[in-house]
Amino acid sequence: MTEQAATGTPATGTPGIDVPDRRGRTGLDREGLDLTGNPRVRVEEVRLLTSNWYITRTTRLAFQHRDGHWSTEERETYDRGNGATVLLYDPTRRTVLLIRQFRYPAYVNGHPDGMLLEVPGGLLDDDAPEEAVRREAQEETGYRIGEVEHLFDVYMSPGSVTEKLYFYAASYDAAAEGASTRTDAGGGLAEEGEDIELVELGIDEALSRIGTDIVDAKTIMLLQWAALSGPFRR
C-alpha cells in the first residue's frame, strides 16, 4: 500500500504499521506482543486488518488448556479506545437524565428506528476518565457536572471489543451544593454529526422501560445500580 505525502511525493509503506495512518499512528501490528501477565498465553503474531478511525487486528496465540496441552488460536479484536459514562440523577425528584440519539449499528441489527435511550458518555480520547465524562456530559446534556462518584469499570464486549468503560454517577439538582448545573442546551457536537435529545424520566418509569425502549447495556447497568445500591435504593 502507498500513502500520498503532504508534499505530493508518494511514501511507500502500510498505514498504521510503518507509515502514519490518518490519525498519525504507527506500530499498530505490535499490540499484545509484549504481554506476560498470563503464563498460559503466548502471543505469536499480530496482523493489522484496518486502521481507518478505529483498529481491527487478528492475533495468533498459543493457549495452554487446563489439562496442560497447548493449542494455536486466532482472535480478532476491535479497538476503539476506552470510554466513560455517567448517570445524572435528582434524588429529591427521583428522576434521571437520559439522551436519545441515532445508533446505526443497532438500527442495522434489528432495532426499529435506531433511536436509543442512553446515559451520556463517550470515548476518552486523550483525557482521563473523569475529565472525559465531564466533557461528554456537558456536550450531550448541557450540564456541567459537579461532584462525581466513580462506581466501577467494565469490559462491555470482551469476546471481540477491547473497550473498557468507566462508570460514574452525579447529581444534577441545581439547588444542591456540588451538584451539576445546566450551562447550555447540549445536543452534542454538530461537526460530529450528533443530534441528541435530552429526556428526563422518573426512576420507576425508567426501570419499567428496561427491555422495551431502554435496551442499551450501560444504561441498564446504571439504572439497576441506582435502584439496588445507589440513590434510589429502598
Q: What is the pLDDT of residues 195-211, one digit of tens each?
A: 889 999 999 999 999 99
CATH number, residue 127: 3.90.79.10
- Count of H-run helices and E-run strands, the chain: 4, 14
Alpha-carbon distance 100 to 219, whole Å? 12
Q: Confirm whether 20 is domain-assigned.
A: yes
Q: What is the pLDDT of residues 36-56, one digit of tens each?
A: 999 999 999 999 999 988 999
Task: Give the domain range for residue 199.
Answer: 83-228
Q: In the Cβ-directed half-sphere of 18, how many Cα atoms lie within 13 Å?
A: 6
Query: Do residue 93 and residue 18 come from a single domain?
Result: no
Q: Confirm whether 234 is domain-assigned.
A: no
Alpha-carbon distance 159 to 167, whole Å? 20
Q: Confirm whether 233 is domain-assigned.
A: no
Count the domains in the chain: 2
Q: What is the pLDDT of residues 133-192, one digit of tens each?
A: 999 999 999 888 889 999 999 999 999 999 999 999 999 875 554 555 555 545 554 455
Share of the chain above pLDDT 70, in %: 86
pTM over 0.75: yes
Query: Rounded mean pLDDT of 124-131?
Result: 95
Instruction: From 28, 58, 79, give the residue that closes a domain.
Output: 79
Query: Do residue 190 and residue 75 come from a single domain?
Result: no
